[in-house]
Structure 1
Amino acid sequence: MRVEIWSDISCPWCYVGKARFAQGLAAFAHAGEVEVVHRSYELDPHRPHGDSALMVDVLAREFGHTLDQAHAFQDRVSASARAEGLEYRTDVATHGNTFDIHRLLHHAKARGRQDALLTLVYRADFAEERSVFDPEVLVALALEAGLDEGEVRGVLADPAAHAEDVRADERQAAEVGVRGVPFFVIDRRYGTSGAQHADTFTHTLEQAWASRPLTSFGATEAATCGPDGTCSSPS
């Protein structure tokens, strides 16, 4: 069974959702038979490269929140992160253009180190005083994840390296109806959005496993219509 996870580095709920999904997967009886694939999604693709700012400032300045609302949002995310054993520092969490990071994650995927690098990048962005929008920080994180320094520098120096891989992920996101992240798709049949709790992920995996090998795809919370002409709304 394959689980595809669309996410962005600048998304705090993706950071929390990754941890919750890992817990839900660990409780799933067939976890060893699940392939997890991380896919690219940019929340702010039009932001200039190299332009980054503290998350709380971006929320207040660019997304219509008051400063108090931005701080309250950050506090909620921080509390949720701590509940999952994650550190989240509201004074360092940063937002910016993530295209180069996604390109590097595709390189890491080709080397079997994608999940390791993604974990390190999230931690650096949300819990440490290291800017993932600094190329030298990215190189250091990649080395920590077990990647080759020369290859990493080559990817970052070549804007075309893995660029099409990122775009392909984003085209697929549009095809399956991703409108926000994190978004989880199981075998292209089940979709669930958001940083659900671990037990919800486990239940969804169990449902997907039990229903194999159905071939229809649908979001778990979407309205449906049956062959008798009746339609239902999500509860």
Structure 2
Amino acid sequence: MAPFVHACPWCYIGKARFEKGLADFAHRGEIEVVHRSFELDPGRAKGETGPVLEMLAKKYGRTLEEARAMEAHVASNARAEGLGYRTEGREHGNTFDVHRLLHLAKERGRQNELLDLAYRANFAEERSVYDAETLVTLAVEAGLDEAEARAVLADETAYAEAVRADEREAAELGANGVPFFVLDRKYGISGGQPAEVFTQALEQAWQGRTLQPVGGDADACGIDGSGC
């Protein structure tokens, strides 16, 4: 299980690294990967968006140039994994609608496809995932029915409890930042660890061995948005 936050760059990077680690795992065909919802800024009003660089500067008391350096660090990590990343022009906002739509995609067997498209749109392309029409377009690209996607976005109660249930479960499992990976509901891995760390952890969990605590040194986003 991997709590996802489409607005967290380390989730974007961590997903890619986990998938590389999983590809090197001998029993990868027998592993089910489940993505769960996790909001970094649940108090932000729907429709309230702002530039990422200004948000970073304000949150951490940095200058815009220092915020650009923070983004450049993330970008270098993303590009090392073969991922696109824009350091300018991105927005930050409320992610609840994206999470609700991802639960629809999960029911239709297209969650991973929509998640990848949302990550790419948010971090690499000139498309805002805080716009309803963009979300509908992404849903259709992921293989969902357009009318069904529109109906979910129009009904603010649709999948709302599913998102909240994921967030409660993440809290119960000890996730106070993301990405956070749980293997066999027993072993937690925090942060965007290198691919080989995930492979090793999968092997140990498969063998029923106790994993050494993994986390702390890897980049991650805190529950308050810190680190992003």
Normalising by structure 2, report the TM-score.
0.91
2:55 to 58, 63, 67: 58
Partner of 1:49: 46
Match of residue 213 from structure 2: 220
Indicate the residue corresponding to 1:155 in structure 2: 152
Letter in 1 for 2:150: R
Q: Distance in 1 between matches of 2:153 and 2:147?
A: 10
What does residue range 1-235 of structure 1 map to in structure 2 within 5 Å? 4-211=1-208, 220-221=213-214
% identical equivalent positions:
60
Structure 1 stretches (4+) deviating beyond 4 angstroms? none
Decide which moves more: 113-122 or 64-73.
Answer: 64-73
Q: Deviations over 1:9-53 (max 9, x none)?
A: 110111101111110000100000010000000000001101122
Distance 1:127 1:221 in 2: 29
Do the aligned partners of residues 191 and 75 (structure 1) sit closer, same or farther apart at CA in structure 2, a change above 3 Å counting?
A: same
Q: Which runs of 5+ in 1 are unaligned?
A: 223-235
- Unmatched tracts of structure 2, length 5 or more: 216-228
**SS at structure 1 position matched to 2:42:** coil
Whose radius of gyration is greater, 1 or 2? 1
Number of residue-to-residue matches in the alignment = 215
1:154 maps to amino acid: A
Deviation, structure 1 residue 91: 1.2
Deviation at 1:61, TM superposition (A): 2.1
Letter in 1 for 2:213: T
- One-letter code aligned to 1:220: P
The 1-side partners of 2:37 and 2:63 are apart by 30
- Over the aligned positions, Cα root-mean-square deviation in angstroms equals 1.5
Counterparts of 1:186 and 1:94, CA distance in 2: 32
Q: CA–CA distance in 2 between the matches of 1:56 and 1:159?
A: 29
Secondary structure of 2:12's aligned partner: helix
C-alpha distance in structure 2 between counterparts of 1:126 and 1:53, whole Å: 15
Q: Shift in Å at residue 92 of structure 1?
A: 3.2
Q: Evaluate the alpha carbon distance shift between residue 219 and residue 108 of structure 1 in structure 2; reply closer, same or farther with a 3 A threshold.
A: farther
The more displaced of 156-165 and 67-76 is: 67-76
What TM-score does the superposition give when structure 1 sets the normalisation length?
0.88
3-state SS of 2:47 partner: coil
Residues 109, 219 of structure 1: CA spacing in aligned structure 2 closer, same or farther, 3 A cutoff? farther
